[in-house]
Chains A and B, each alone.
Chain A
């Protein structure tokens, strides 16, 4: 798929994400939009998956450690055909396969329930270790948040992933700089996250613009230099794709007014 086609998919994923959140009446727009390019790169270009056989044995695995941003993941899974687009209208509603946070018991394509921060990265590392034990070829990917990095468990898992030399494991950081209570620096300064992961033993790549799908793809497709797990520090904008939402803390989980919704859709549709 060429870059222009992928960019169009990113835009339609943002539209579907916004629609589903508005339909649900709640949901996390900002952190969903900031990681759209990462998800589209993984699900449309990088991962070995088959939506018709969501449980096929040799599939690559993805765990959304920052599970609250699942509306974008749901939109990507639907676009990829894991379930009908219609299901997006049921998000966060009673009986839906699309729970407020991902539930692997009920949703095709979700490998592990997540949303309790710090846990998804460990679960994903366990999957990567499992492939190593079995001698199989699956790659495992996870997206973590920058605020999430305050969880001590992130560093427990980083230590273990390096200890077991999980060269089939890639951690993508959605580094949008904002969390519920403020900027990362205000709430709990994470300092140099690339240096920290490197100190734990990861091969690290900085992606200057994580909302540029070419840059994200280039990083994902870079040959590993070592037998170690990899960390992609993707600098993104919270709310990326809609100018008045970008880098605005308020859009972590706020609902748009009808006027804001119309303006957002107009801006997104202009890109298609």
Chain B
């Protein structure tokens, strides 16, 4: 547990390795290649690196077009710009068409540090997980970053990989599967469900809690979407306390994803009616309200069940 590396650096390093074996991989950046570490790919494969300038909206939509030509664009910038400035390009330009674009953004979270609040993205997980068909991965260390990138290439569709600026400890090697939590430590009183840079903090916290006689599980929820609900429910059933920890707003991120999953598993019934992670389509308002389960008929049906 001594070696440290930022996930942004791990991303830059592994892009170069991936680029060697797959000539369809191209990399785009918005004039931040030095900070996102795509500069390493730029140096290795200048013909497949495209600096799109400080114009994130165009960069994301160009990636959409490039993906239709059989290429696999990895698009990088800071999370606040990639998911915020270019949000609607990701929504309508990429995800609505289910295009094969990989967005890997660095400088996510307050752990970004000295640049301050304007450059610390604390809402990117929320923005990305609300988009239908978007896979959202938050690697905790170098190993997970590499495995997340491998997995992203296997997925035919949009993927968001959230990367950090700050260095974090390299975790002991563990299996990684998209949508399957990595239980780093078992426990039956407190469950710490976490992702990204705070996984290491949770491991430290669990060690202290254990020393005080409190059995603590550490669940590394590297995939926010699709969420491993089975593991969430398992620990919700056996632990008296669940804490979610993330370098992100408590609104819309991992915490809300976990809360939504376990809400209704207790003494009362809870169900969310609305668009179930799918885009809209053409139709009459009445047809669509029925199709998406928000008309009186469907409400009654759900209230009775």
Contact = CB atoms under 8 A, between A and B. Distances in A.
Report the contact-size class of chain A (Cβ under 8 Å from the partner): 35 or more
Contacts of A157: 58, 61-62
Contacts of A96: 282
A106 B96 CA distance: 11
B66 A130 contact: yes
Contacts of B288: 94
Interface stretch (B68-76, B160-168, B172-180, B217-225): B68-76
Interface string A104-148: 110000011101101100111111111101100010000000000
Given A94-B287, A116-B93, A130 B70 contact: yes
B53 to A, nearest CB: 7
A138 B68 CA distance: 12
A100 B50 CA distance: 34
A193 interface: no
Interface of A: 61, 63, 92-96, 98-100, 103-105, 111-113, 115-116, 118-119, 122-131, 133-134, 138, 152-153, 156-157, 159-160, 163-164
Interface in B171-225: none
Contacts of B26: 133
Interface of B: 26, 47-48, 50, 52-53, 55, 57-58, 60-71, 88-89, 92-93, 96-99, 281-284, 287-288, 291
Nearest to A99: B282
B69 to A, nearest CB: 3
A62 to B, nearest CB: 12
Contacts of B70: 130, 134
A159 B53 contact: yes
A133 B50 CA distance: 11
Contacts of A92: 282
A112 B58 contact: no
* Residue of A96, A98, A119 ringed by the most chain B CB atoms within 10 A: A119
Contact of B291 (A94, A115, A124, A156): A94
21 contacts: A93-B282, A93-B283, A96-B282, A98-B282, A100-B282, A111-B68, A119-B88, A123-B61, A123-B65, A123-B93, A125-B58, A127-B65, A127-B68, A129-B62, A130-B68, A130-B70, A130-B71, A133-B66, A152-B57, A153-B58, A156-B57
B14 to A, nearest CB: 21
B62 A123 contact: yes
A233 to B, nearest CB: 21
Contacts of B68: 61, 111-112, 123, 126-127, 130
A122 B61 contact: yes
B220 to A, nearest CB: 34
B53 A160 contact: yes
Contacts of B89: 119, 122, 153
Nearest to A112: B97
A160 B52 CA distance: 7
Nearest to B91: A116
A130 B26 CA distance: 10
B36 to A, nearest CB: 19
Contact of A94 (B48, B93, B282): B282
B287 to A, nearest CB: 5
A93 B287 CA distance: 10
Contacts of A164: 50
A116 B88 contact: yes
A152 B56 CA distance: 11
Contacts of A133: 26, 47-48, 66, 69, 71
Given A94-B291, A133-B47, 7 more contacts: A103-B97, A113-B92, A119-B89, A123-B64, A133-B69, A160-B52, A160-B62
A126 B65 contact: yes
